[in-house]
Chain A
Amino acid sequence: MRPNFFYHLHPPTIPAKQARWRYTLGAGGMAVFLVLILVLTGALEMFFYIPTPAEAANSIQTLTYIIPFGGLLRNLHFWSAQFLVIISGVHLIRVVFTGSATHSRRFNYLLGLILFLLIVLIDFTGYILRWDQGIQWALVVGVNLVKSIPLAGESLYMALLGEAHPGSISLIRFYAWHVFGLSLVAIILMVWHIFRVRRDGGIAVPPPALRADSDRISRMTLVRREILAMLLLSGGLIILSIFFPAPIGPGITDLKASLSTASAPWFFLWVQQLLKWGNPFIWGVLIPISIWLVMAVFPYIFPMAEGNETGRCFSKASRPAQIIITVFISLIIMLTLLARWSVE
C-alpha cells in the first residue's frame, strides 16, 4: 500500500529508542499541532476581531459572550498559545539534555531558538491585542523598553509601532505583526526547522555502528502515537478552555493613566522582576537578549555531544550547555515566582 499524504510526511522508519515518549516528550510534535490549532482558531478569530482602540476589547467581548462557541474558540487560541511557549521551552531543554544539538545540527538548534523567540513575541503581540486594562502595564512598559535602547531605540520604536504614543496606529501594527509579520516568519522557520530535522537524519541518534539498539518503528506506529498526542492534547485544551477561560477585561480608557500594579504576561514576569532592579535598558533589554545570545552561541563555543553521546540523555559531552541552560531556567523560574509572589 502506498503511504498517503500524511504518512508520507514522516520517514518510513525511525529508531525505536529515540522515538519513545520519555525521550522526546512529544514536545516538537505537540508544538507543531499547537501551531495548527493556533492558525485555525486565529483565522476564525480574525472574522470577529476589530483592531481599533475603541472596538478591540468590545469585539473580544462580543466574540466571547455573544458569538456561538466564540468563547471556546478564544479560550482554545489562548491556551494553545500558552502551551506552545511551554512546550517549545520543554523541546529546547530536551534537545540540550539529550545531546541533540550536535555539531551538524547546531544550525537547526539556532533555527529552533529563533522560533522560540518568535513564539514569545507572537504571544506578547497577541496579549497586547486584547487592548483591555489587563494588558495596559505590559503595553506601556514594553514599548518603553524598545525606546530605552541607546541610539536606535526611538527609530526602532517608530519602525515597529509607527506613532509617538501607543494608539490606533500601534494597535493595527501589533495586529499586523501578530497575524502576519511574526507568524509568517515563524511558519516559514518552522517548516525549515522540520525540514532540517529530516535533512540532519531525523531524531538525533548515535551513528548506526555505535547504536546498542537497532530497533526501528514504522511511520504507521509513529502516526498513531502522534494521533494519541493530538487527541489527549485537544481534550486537555478543551477542558482547560471550559473551566479556565482566557483573561478578559474592560477596554483601555486612558493609556496615560498611571497604573499602580505591574502585570506582565506570565512569560515576561521574570523581566518584570528584573526591571525593579534598575536601568530598564540593562535589566529589561540587555540581559534578556544576552541570555538568548548565550544560548544561541553555545553550540558554536562549547563542545557538544558527538558520536555515541548523541541522542543520549544527560550526555557528558554537552554538560557545559546543560549547566548553562539549567542556570538560566532556574533563574527565570525564580524571578517569575518572585514577581508573582510580590504581586500577590
Chain B
Amino acid sequence: MNRVLFIASFLLLIAISLAWWQEEQKIIPISLTPAITGQTEYCLTCHADLPEISPSHPIETFGCVLCHGGERLALDADLAHSSMRGGANPSDLSVAEESCGGENCHSGTEADERDHIQRVMTSIQTTYTGAITSVRFTFGAQADQTARFGVSSVTDTTLPSLTGITSLQAFDPQNESNPNLIKFGNNCLTCHINAQPIEGKQYERFTGCSACHTPILPYFSSEDLVNGGESNGFIHRLTTAIPYSQCNTCHNRGNYNLQTMEFDERSDQPHSRAENYYQPIAQFTLCEYTLDCVDCHTRIEAMGDGDIHATKADIQYTQCKTCHGTLNELPLTKTLFDPNDIAFRMALSNPILDLQIGDTILVTEQGEPLWNTRVLPNNQYVLIGKVTRQQFTFHPVMGSNCLQDPNQQESQYCHECHAVER
C-alpha cells in the first residue's frame, strides 16, 4: 500500500509541476487603460507592434476595444476576438454605428458636421441607387427614372428632404422577372462601399468607412494583404489623405456590359499615372491626373449630404470653375476668422499645412472649404496635394486669354481645349 501511495504522490507531483510549468508559459499581459473608456484592456499583449491607426485616434485616448469591440480582458485569441465588431473591420457599415458612432464621434449632429455615418448611409456610394434605377428603367421594370431602390433599405434622417426622396427600398433581384435584372443583381452590385469587391488586386479594398479611409495602394502591396501588411497581418491605418488609387479600386476599372450584365475589365495596360487614372475613353486635364481625387472633390460629394440622391450627378458638383472661376467671376473665397471653423478640423486630420486664423482659402459653391488651398496676394492660388503634399500654383480664368463662351463653363467645355492627349 505504501508503494502505491508513493507512486500516486509522485503522479500528483508531476501534475502539480505541469500546472506550474503551464503557469510559467503564460504570456505577460500588457495593459492599457484608455482615457475615454477608463477600462483596462490587454489587446496590446499581442498587438503592441501595430502602428497607431491615425493621429486623430491616439491609442492612449481610444484604446482598441472602443472601436473594435472584442473581449478586452481575454488573453486567448479566439475568445478575445469572438465579439469583435465587423471581424477585422469595425467600419463595415453593418457595425459602423457602434464602432465609429456616438455623438462625440462620427454620429454627432449635422450642425457640428459630425454626422458622417448618417450621411454615408444615405450617400449614393452606399445606396448605388443611380445604377439600380437606370438599369431597372432600361429593362422596363419601372416606367420612369424615379429612385425607388437602393442596395439596402434606407431612410433620409435629415428631413425635410431637399431632394424629395425620403426612403429607398432594398433592391432584391429575386423579385425581378427580367433575367437581365437578376444577372445585374448578382453580378453588378460590388461597387457600393459596403460590398465585398470582386477578385483582383486592382479591386482590393475594405468595406464601409475603410473602403476609402484605409487605402491599400500605394501604401501596401497586394502581397501585404496576403502576407500581412503591417505586423500581424493587418493594415491598421485610417487617413483622410486618400490617394486616387483607392478611388480607383471602384472607379475607372471597367464597365458593366448591359448586354451580358457582366463586368468588363478595362483592358489597357497603363504605364504611367496619366494612363492609369482614367479609362482610355475619358477626357481629362492635367490637374485631373496630377492631383488626387480628394484634392478637389469634397467630403459631401464623397460621403453625401444626408439626403438621398437619385444619381451621382445630383451630388457631384465640383468642376473646373470651382477653383478657377469663370471668365466673369473669380472662385469663391473665405477668410478664416472662427477657430471652430470646420476647415481647421479638416486640416488637423491631415496636417499637410499650417492653417491659421486670417488665412484666405477657396470654398466651393456649396460653401465647403477647400482647406488645402490658399489665395496668394498676386491673384494666384496655391493648392497643396492632400496625399502627395505637392504644391500647385494656379490662376483664375478671369483675366486670362480663355475664349470660352461665358455660358458654357462646365468642365466638359474646358476639356475641349485643355484635355490631355494620351
Contacts and interface: CB of A to CB of B under 8 A. Distances in A.
A and B: partners? yes
Interface of A: 57-58, 61-62, 64-66, 68-69, 72, 221, 224-225, 227-228, 231-232, 234-236, 238-239, 241-242, 248-251, 253
B22 A232 contact: no
Given A61-B71, A66-B42, A231-B5, 9 more contacts: A58-B72, A61-B74, A62-B73, A65-B75, A227-B5, A232-B12, A234-B12, A235-B11, A250-B83
A68 B19 CA distance: 11
Given A224-B1, A231-B5, A231-B11, A250 B16 contact: no
A72 B23 CA distance: 9
Contacts of B19: 69, 72, 238, 241-242
Interface of B: 1, 4-5, 8-9, 11-12, 14-16, 18-19, 22-23, 26, 29, 42, 71-76, 79, 82-83
Given A61-B73, A68-B23, A232-B11, A250 B5 contact: no
Given A72-B19, A72-B23, A241-B19, A65 B83 contact: no
Contact of B76 (A65, A221, A235, A253): A65
Contact of B8 (A61, A62, A235, A249): A235
Contacts of A68: 23
Contacts of A224: 1, 5
A253 B83 contact: yes
Residue among B19, B72, B76 facing the most chain A CB atoms (10 A cut-off): B19
Contacts of B8: 228, 231-232, 235
Nearest to A69: B23
Q: Is the interface of B mostly helix, strand, loop or mixed?
A: helix
A308 to B, nearest CB: 31
Contact of A250 (B12, B14, B71): B71
Contacts of A241: 19
10 contacts: A65-B29, A65-B73, A66-B29, A228-B4, A231-B11, A232-B11, A235-B8, A238-B16, A242-B18, A242-B22
Contacts of A228: 1, 4-5, 8
Contacts of B18: 238-239, 242
B2 to A, nearest CB: 8
A221 B1 contact: yes
A224 B2 CA distance: 8
A66 B16 CA distance: 19
A2 to B, nearest CB: 22
Contact of B15 (A65, A235, A251): A235
Most chain B CB inside 10 Å of its own CB: which residue of A224, A238, A239: A238
Contacts of B9: 231
A227 B83 CA distance: 45
Nearest to B82: A250
A227 B29 CA distance: 38
Q: Which of A62, A65, A68, A251 has the most CB of B within 10 A?
A: A65
Contacts of A236: 15
A238 B8 CA distance: 13
Contacts of B72: 58
A58 B26 CA distance: 19
Contacts of A58: 72-73
**Which 6 A/B pairs are nearest by Cβ-Cβ distance?**
A231-B8, A250-B83, A238-B15, A65-B75, A61-B73, A235-B15
A168 to B, nearest CB: 18
A82 B18 CA distance: 22
B33 to A, nearest CB: 14
B397 to A, nearest CB: 58
Nearest to B31: A66
Nearest to B20: A69
A225 B5 CA distance: 9
Contacts of B12: 231-232, 234-235, 238
Contacts of B26: 65
Nearest to A63: B73
A231 B9 CA distance: 6
Contacts of B14: 235
Contacts of B82: 249-250
A45 to B, nearest CB: 16
A235 B17 CA distance: 11
Interface core residue of B1, B26, B71, B75 (most chain A CB under 10 Å): B71
Contacts of B15: 234-236, 238-239, 242
Contacts of A62: 73
Nearest to A66: B29
A262 B22 CA distance: 33
